[in-house]
Amino acid sequence: MAGRRYRTAIVGTGGIAVAHVQALHGLADRAEVVAVADVDLSRAKTFAERWDVPHAYDGVAELLDTQQLDLVHLCTPPERHAPLALECLRAGVTVLVEKPPTLSLAEMDALVAAERVSAGHVATVFQHRFGSDAFRLRRMAAAAELGRPLVATCSTLWYRDEDYFAAPWRGTWESEGGGPTMGHGIHQFDLLLSVLGPWREVTALAVRQARSTDTEDVSMALVSFDNGAVASVVNSVVSPRQTSALRFDYEHATVEVDHLYGYDDKDWTLTPAPGHDAVLAGWTAAGADVASGHPAQLAAVFDALDRGEAPPVTLADARRTMDFVAALYASAFTGERVRSGQIGPDSPFATRMDGTGAPWKETQRPVTNPA
Ligand SMILES: NC(=O)c1ccc[n+]([C@@H]2O[C@H](COP(=O)([O-])OP(=O)(O)OC[C@H]3O[C@@H](n4cnc5c(N)ncnc54)[C@H](O)[C@@H]3O)[C@@H](O)[C@H]2O)c1
């Protein structure tokens, strides 16, 4: 059954808004972009002109007052995500918020409470859940075709120079909420968690190696899962040869993906264990090659709205990933092992990802480009 054509608006017309508008144009039979908003009105107007959007506003309040909307895409810096999502929920409008959905677990819980009494929902952009081989892997794992999951590795080794952190909202706990854990590796370990299911415990470290940020620029974690698997996770923005790589070793096969900012089926491989060549049949079975990215997630969002369901990635799903982020920081900064769900509302790590402050808070920032 064909669904409705949804009325959408984009809030925050900077870098990532382009991925949203392009994805929406590619799905023009399912949605129209009726308006954009940005605190920088001239930026909003330039964006509207370039992408053929009829209305531009300087904020969410006027946007919500003036337009009947089905979906608002929140593409602002992270510190504005929760407040703006709450405004949309109060107006009964569904939100698709860029990652990270909030700065903290406390803000996640505020969204959960607001969603409960709103006609709208909140979905988070974690686009790497939505490529076809990620679905294939989850399907084969759920059908026990791969045997037990034993060990996994998840690496986000990226490179961001000092200029990248010149944007005032980047690299601070107050506006970005964290470093590569919160802002970069979150894409990969969200995919890891979507494949391996509930995580149990994390032991981590976070360090500031080279960038003049308030936040970490490298973090590493060891994680155990309810299903018995164990995994290592590395998140870095100081790694000149960049890669985003996940590897899952099941009893019957190794499944790997190696990409940078998006994958398609050719980036994945499956290597059967000796005597288990039969698993290849499931892996190579015919199916559309859908690249991970905003178009794939948006299509899934509209499918859910057509069915009258909460669109993916739901708040409950995103909260599991944010709980992992908070636990990683809590473990790194306290030196303790942290369990899933352990960070309750009274923990300092519930309201700020750095808790009472990163250990390097009072120390000098790393010196870059020494004379
Ligand atoms: N999913 C991905 O792959 C991906 C990639 C890059 C960035 N992101 C995320 O997207 C978000 C935005 O990143 P960006 O690089 O586009 O940032 P950006 O700085 O390029 O753009 C942000 C825009 O939001 C506007 N803005 C700020 N406050 C606002 C408000 N209250 N109301 C309306 N507009 C407001 C700014 O003026 C700016 O134009 C971040 O959360 C980032 O982590 C996601």
* CB within 8 Å of 119: residues ≥ 6 apart: 92
Residue 43 Cβ contacting ligand 1 at under 6 Å: yes
332 Cα: distance to centroid of ligand 1 (angstroms): 28
| Domain identity same for 109 and 249 | no
Mean pLDDT (whole number) for 111-119: 98
Q: Residue 371 pLDDT more than 70? A: no
Across the chain, mean pLDDT equals: 96
201 Cα: distance to centroid of ligand 1 (angstroms): 32
Write the CA distances from 227 to 88, 197, 198, 206, integer angstroms. 37, 8, 8, 26
| Domain identity same for 189 and 302 | no
Structural domain count, the chain: 2
At 1, which amino acid appears?
A: M
Residue 262 Cβ contacting ligand 1 at under 6 Å: no
Confidence (pLDDT) at 367: 62
| Domain identity same for 306 and 342 | no
Atom of ligand 1 nearest to the CA of 167: 19
| Domain identity same for 58 and 150 | no
Atom of ligand 1 nearest to the CA of 78: 41
Does residue 244 sit in helix, strand or coil? strand
The two beta strands, 253-259 and 238-250, are antiparallel
Residue 359 within any structural domain of the chain? no
Residue count of the chain = 371
Atom of ligand 1 nearest to the CA of 13: 39
Domain CATH for 241: 3.30.360.10
Q: Please provide the DSSP assignment of 163-175 as one string.
A: GGGGSTTTT-TTT
327 Cα: distance to centroid of ligand 1 (angstroms): 25
Residue 144 within any structural domain of the chain? yes
| Domain identity same for 85 and 24 | yes
| Domain identity same for 117 and 93 | yes
Confidence (pLDDT) at 2: 64
Predicted confidence band at 363 (pLDDT cuts at 50, 70, 90)?
Answer: confident
Q: Residue 370 pLDDT more than 60? A: no
- pTM flag (> 0.95): yes
Residue 363 within any structural domain of the chain? no
Q: Residue 47 pLDDT more than 80? A: yes
Residue 16 Cβ contacting ligand 1 at under 6 Å: yes
329 Cα: distance to centroid of ligand 1 (angstroms): 23
Confidence (pLDDT) at 100: 98
pLDDT digit string, tens, across residues 126-163: 999 999 999 999 999 999 999 999 999 999 999 999 99
Residue 190 within any structural domain of the chain? yes
Q: Residue 365 pLDDT more than 80? A: no
Atom of ligand 1 nearest to the CA of 83: 31
Q: What is the dihedral of CA 236, 241, 246, 248, to 10 degrees?
A: -120
Asked whether the beta carbons of 133 and 268 are under 8 A apart, the reply is yes
Residue 119 within any structural domain of the chain? yes
77 Cα: distance to centroid of ligand 1 (angstroms): 4
| Domain identity same for 136 and 241 | yes
Residue 149 within any structural domain of the chain? yes
Domain CATH for 123: 3.40.50.720
Residue 147 Cβ contacting ligand 1 at under 6 Å: no
Mean pLDDT (whole number) for 72-98: 98
Best of 11, 13, 16 for a ligand 1 pocket test (most atoms within 8 Å of beta carbon): 16
Q: What whole-number percentage of the chain has pLDDT above 70? A: 98
Which residue has a Cα nearest atom 4 of ligand 1?
16
| Domain identity same for 115 and 157 | no
272 Cα: distance to centroid of ligand 1 (angstroms): 42
| Domain identity same for 223 and 210 | yes
Residue 267 within any structural domain of the chain? yes
Q: How far apart are CA 274 and CA 282, in angstroms?
A: 16
Asked whether the beta carbons of 94 and 121 are under 8 A apart, the reply is yes
Helices 41-51 and 17-26 pack at an angle, to 10 degrees, of: 30
| Domain identity same for 40 and 84 | yes
Which residue has a Cα nearest atom 27 of ligand 1?
76
* CB within 8 Å of 270: residues ≥ 6 apart: 253, 254, 255, 256, 279, 280, 283
The beta strands (E) that lie in the chain are given as 6-11, 31-37, 55-57, 71-74, 94-97, 122-124, 149-159, 199-207, 218-225, 230-236, 238-250, 253-259, 268-272, 338-339
Residue 171 Cβ contacting ligand 1 at under 6 Å: no
Best of 46, 75, 297 for a ligand 1 pocket test (most atoms within 8 Å of beta carbon): 75
80 Cα: distance to centroid of ligand 1 (angstroms): 9
pLDDT digit string, tens, across residues 293-312: 999 999 999 999 999 999 99
Confidence (pLDDT) at 37: 98
Confidence (pLDDT) at 362: 81
76 Cα: distance to centroid of ligand 1 (angstroms): 3
Predicted confidence band at 368 (pLDDT cuts at 50, 70, 90)?
Answer: low
Residue 370 within any structural domain of the chain? no
Residue 99 Cβ contacting ligand 1 at under 6 Å: yes
| Domain identity same for 307 and 325 | no
317 Cα: distance to centroid of ligand 1 (angstroms): 22
103 Cα: distance to centroid of ligand 1 (angstroms): 14
Which residue segment(s) compose the domain that 49 sits in?
6-127+296-314
| Domain identity same for 254 and 286 | yes
87 Cα: distance to centroid of ligand 1 (angstroms): 17
